[in-house]
Structure 1
């Protein structure tokens, strides 16, 4: 019982739990949840779900990264600062998560709504959404008779969606790299 109580007062179990939750959340959202939702839901419902789910996912990713950093054994952030093999991958996860949460996630959501609206003929709505994301390279008062607005909306969506995917993949790789760093620290006996 004494060993258990000592463990409760140590940062290591909290660190392992936060790291495990971080990696598990990334893998589940990226490879299971998104795929199942894409296959099971009509596109309109899928887009509505994703626009609500991804901000929560990216916020959780950032929060778990901060929690993992704050519980780094044996002395929290002091230990982390002294370990470049640990701080670098956690910084990458945090930065990529912030970019997705603040910039590319919202842009992807807006661009997907623009694409859907153009397919449904809501031209004015699409133009205002394109203005919101800063894509104003052509005049906004001409109807999309030649398909240029649709092409632009598809290109904008593809660019932002690719950024989200690549940043998320980089974050997952950095999370796994951090796991190896953590394992090396544990094997060395801290």
Structure 2
């Protein structure tokens, strides 16, 4: 006989209601976070980059990344809240694998609230400079090069922060797979 409740129970409304636990909610939210953390940077953005012209790709990225960072920040914060609700002492050991994967919330919030808007402003500034010089994307002016240098630096920091979030979330997922949820 299985120790899992509801495993052999016929499908019914009562059986479905029994699935609504903190563990179930955490699993859904964390699974959503893990899926987004893998899909957006490693598949969605790469597919869009290969399929779209530069201007359309830039417009798509300008719309999708803020949503990604906002939603993943909220999901990560919700997971931390649920984990803390179930195990209040877990925040004392944030650098452990048990809770460490959720440290991604800091890098995700930084990308959402600071780095993402900075990259958008720098790209807008570059476009404004290019239009002011009435030239295309081949503009080689000193001002455009300076803006692009700042953009590349901020974009690099943003990418590094997102990579940290990815590794942190995957490490937490591997920990859950090994040690169990709660």
Q: TM-score, normalised by structure 2?
A: 0.77
Q: Distance in 2 between matches of 1:5 and 1:45?
A: 43
Unaligned runs of 5+ in 1: 124-144
3-state DSSP of counterpart to 1:60: helix
**Structure 2: runs of 5+ lacking an equivalent:** 7-14
Question: Paired residue for 1:149, among 95, 118, 143?
Answer: 143
Segments of 4+ moved more than 4 angstroms: 4-7
The alignment of Structure 1 onto Structure 2 pairs a total of residues equal to: 165
Which aligned pairs between 1:6-155 and structure 2 lie closer than 5 A?
Answer: 7-72=18-83, 75-76=85-86, 78=88, 80-81=90-91, 84=94, 85=96, 86-90=98-102, 92-122=103-133, 147-155=141-149
- Say whether the 8 Å CA contact 1:11–1:72 is kept in structure 2: no
Alpha-carbon distance in structure 1 between the residues aligned to 2:90 and 2:17: 22
CA contact (8 A) 1:72 1:79 kept: no
Q: Distance in 2 between matches of 1:96 and 1:156?
A: 20
Distance across 1 between alignment mates of 2:132 and 2:49: 23
Q: Structure 1 length normalisation: TM-score? A: 0.74
> How big is the alpha-carbon RMSD for the aligned residues of Structure 1 and Structure 2?
2.8
Whether the 8 Å contact between 1:107 and 1:160 is mirrored in structure 2 is yes
Q: CA deviation at 1:48?
A: 1.5
Matched, 1:180 2:171: no
